[in-house]
Amino acid sequence: MKRLLLKGTCTAVVLSVAMSVLAGCGSGQNAAEQSAAAQSTAALETPAPGSKSEPVKISFMDLWAKDKAENISTSVREALADFQKNNADIIVEEEAIGDQTAYYTKIKTLAASNELPDIFICKGSELAMFAKNQAVAPLDEILDADAAWKEGYVTSAFDDLTSDGKIYAVPYSMLSTHVIYYNKKILADAGVQAFPETWADFKTMIDKIKAKGIVPIALGNKEQWVAESCILSTLGDRFTGPDWFNGIKDNKGAKFTDPDFIKSLAALQELGKAGAFNKDMNSINNDQQKTLYFNGKAAMFMEGSWAIGAVMAGPEEIAGNTEVAVLPSVDGGKGDPKSMSGGAGSGFASGVKGFGSKKEAVAKVLKAISGPEYAKSIAEKGEPTAYKVSDYDKSKVSPLAVKYAEMASKLKFTPIYDSYLNPAVVSKMNAGLQELLISTITPEELAKRIQAEYEKVK
């Protein structure tokens, strides 16, 4: 028995030695690689004149799936490919993660260890926090160095991407989160000739459509952001006007319990009570709300300008009958009825570490993927741009996109709630809206709840 024990100890020792040898091998190899890496970075920091063999590497992270044919991502990739042809000294290494939640999980991990990519896509609301922690670099320096570039953007383009007066990202598109896509044939069948201009007419229209046995508004709010981002951001502004929201944003005394905001919540609940939405709104998502619309089972749906492509790809007879509109004016509302929630939303930001050492290269790449040529290319695909483009070929643009562009040119942008508010407040609001729509909570209660969260994180 004693020998058995001894043998056991031997085995344990042998095993542990083997393990440490294995580990040792690994680290030895690493040490070699690390020193190689150190050498190459040293070479980067002191570029010898004429040594073109060491190109600058720019890491670029985006949330566009690789084989996806979404307009913006294809244009960005085309712009990058062109850029690579003309700039052999800069190599852009792209990493794409298609799923938003996963993308931001990774971005936050990278931010926590100060390893953010040299260029990456970031939402305005996340950006404020990164800016506070000094994980992203302010881009004013490179923007001010090229005035023509900076002034080329449309007026409110940087609003979503500014924090404490500094610009932290450059926008690549201006999108609206609120567009009402409606089927004019269904409306006509229900006896509505033109899209209503007042809230009262809007509600009459809802009743008429409902009487025909068709769902007036298809809503897929399972993921919670649709009701807030695509409806309430605009509906709220109709009642409160932009001053109220600025007061909220800058902590200047405005409250979610203010009567105007409560009115907007009440109006939304009123729609819910009037049966304007499909009953399963909290269990389907925004793709499925379009399914209802494509089947002709719903007269309209509200989503951002990004849905134009999806509608055009939908069944022909539905796509042909689709028109765009925005919510009508409301009685006693302080907001401009000729407006819709929208903005840049996200932009290209730059991690502090990479920006510090590769400023020029970062600036060049940013210009290529957000500047004039890129903007022209997305304008020709019918996407709203953040950069002023005057002449582009409209013949390539889908009819619905032209309709949208015409409407958008007459409208102002108002802030999208979730791109400014603290994520904790947004998630309280989003979750509450689900309850509001099925009337398990009153507008006042929800307002109080949001306000409480708002004060907690202030």
Partner 1 sequence: MKSILSKIGKYVFNIIMIMFSITCIFPVIWILYSSLKTKDEFMLDIISLPARPRLDNYYHAFVEGKMYTYFISSIFNSFTTVFLVILIAFCIGYVLSRYRFKGRNFIYTLFIAGMLIPVYALIVPLFVQFKVLGLYDRFFTLVIPYIAIRLPLAIFLFESFIKTVPVELDEAAYMDGASTFFTMSRIILPVCKPVLSTILILAFLDTWNEFPFALVLVTKEIYRTIPVGLTNFYGQYTTDYTTLMAAMVLSILPVIIVYLLFNKKIIQGMTAGAVKG
Positions touching partner 1 (CB under 8 A) are 4-5, 7-12, 15, 26-27, 30, 33-34, 37, 63-68, 70, 73, 95-100, 102, 105-106, 109-110, 112-113, 115, 286-288, 290-291, 294-295, 304, 306-307, 309-310, 314-315
In whole angstroms, how close is the CB of 26 to partner 1 at the nearest point?
8
Q: Which of 180, 183, 285, 170 shows the shortest CA–CA distance to 226? A: 285
Q: Which is nearer to partner 1, 142 or 378 (CB)?
A: 378
In whole angstroms, how close is the CB of 229 to partner 1 at the nearest point?
11
In whole angstroms, how close is the CB of 177 to partner 1 at the nearest point?
10
CB–CB of 91/44 below 8 Å? no
Q: Which is nearer to partner 1, 309 or 415 (CB)?
A: 309
d(CA 242, CA 147): 29
In whole angstroms, how close is the CB of 236 to partner 1 at the nearest point?
22
- DSSP classification of residue 159: G
Which stretches of 250-396 are DSSP H helices? 259-273, 286-294, 307-313, 316-321, 352-370, 372-379
Q: Which is nearer to partner 1, 44 or 96 (CB)?
A: 96
Q: Indicate the burial class of 8 (C-beta count within 10 angstroms; 0-12, 13-18, 19 or more).
A: exposed
DSSP secondary structure string for all residues of 174-198:
-EES-EEEEEHHHHHHTT--S--SB
CA distances from residue 312 to 50, 74, 203, 413 in whole angstroms, order as listed: 51, 18, 28, 24
Q: Which is nearer to partner 1, 103 or 261 (CB)?
A: 103
In whole angstroms, how close is the CB of 123 to partner 1 at the nearest point?
11
Q: What are φ and ψ of residue 90, in 5° steps?
A: -125, 130
In whole angstroms, how close is the CB of 323 to partner 1 at the nearest point?
20
Laid out side by side, the sheet with 119-123 consists of: 90-96, 56-62, 119-123, 346-349, 169-171
Q: Which is nearer to partner 1, 4 or 148 (CB)?
A: 4
Q: Which is nearer to partner 1, 314 or 328 (CB)?
A: 314
Cβ partners under 8 Å of residue 154, min gap 6: 174, 385, 386, 387, 388
Token pair 């399972």 in the structure block, residue: 222
In whole angstroms, how close is the CB of 449 to partner 1 at the nearest point?
27
In whole angstroms, how close is the CB of 103 to partner 1 at the nearest point?
8
Residue 191 Rama label (left phi>0; alpha psi -120 to 50; beta): left
Q: Which is nearer to partner 1, 1 or 147 (CB)?
A: 1
Residue 134 Rama label (left phi>0; alpha psi -120 to 50; beta): left
Q: Which is nearer to partner 1, 239 or 404 (CB)?
A: 404
Reduced to 3 states, what is the DSSP secondary structure of residue 399? helix
In whole angstroms, how close is the CB of 333 to partner 1 at the nearest point?
29
For residues 198, 202, 208 and 210, what is the CA-based torsion angle, rounded to 10 degrees? -170
Q: Which is nearer to partner 1, 136 or 436 (CB)?
A: 136
Q: Which is nearer to partner 1, 84 or 329 (CB)?
A: 84
Six-digit token string for 386: 């953040």
CB–CB of 226/437 below 8 Å? no
In whole angstroms, how close is the CB of 163 to partner 1 at the nearest point?
23
CB–CB of 298/387 below 8 Å? no
d(CA 289, CA 292): 5
